[in-house]
Amino acid sequence: MKFEARVFEEPIEVNISEKENSFKSGDLEGKYEFISQNGRYLLRIGTKLYKIDNVSYDGSDIEFSVNGDWFKVSVKDEQELLLDRLGFKTGNAVAEGSLKSPMPGKILDILVSEGDEVTKGQPVVILEAMKMENELKAAIDGTVASISVEVGQSLEKNSPILEIENIG
């Protein structure tokens, strides 16, 4: 899967194959091992071991420390990059709790029901647009308050799809 990470405002393209535990970024490529252990993450690349702590998320922005050095990185996946190129809002630009169609399309599947608890980043709806299936994800942790669409329904850009009430 392709990602773009912005580190110190510089874009870095990274391709990750989870099946093969491999990555490629520019001229750098190799195998990796990612381990979660007692609230700490360990990343092994070759013979180097990186300790990742203090991880916090805010939309696409991730803040963390690696071996004691602090980093703030903005990460976007292939879908977010496509939507950015097309001029649609993603991540923090989307109103909290309100999921709207980022482009004209047709609802293929609704993966949640009213009253379901969802977590930020959880797929909630499949929207077919431009002959592609797009997973639309929850912008916040919360409870699905209302669903405004049905499977098979065609939508215009910015049509309301569902509302999520914030937990806490």
For 96-166, CATH gives 2.40.50.100
Q: What is the mean pLDDT of residues 87-110?
A: 74
Sign (positive/negative) of CA torsion 124, 126, 129, 134?
positive
Provide the pLDDT for residue 84.
72
pLDDT tens, position by position, 137-152: 888 889 999 999 999 9
Q: What is the mean pLDDT of residues 85-112?
A: 75
pLDDT tens, position by position, 16-67: 998 999 999 999 999 999 998 777 899 999 899 999 988 887 777 888 899 9
Provide the pLDDT for residue 45.
92
The pLDDT confidence band at residue 9, using thresholds 50, 70 and 90, is confident
Domain boundaries, the chain: 2-77, 96-166
pLDDT tens, position by position, 96-107: 678 888 888 999
Provide the pLDDT for residue 98.
85
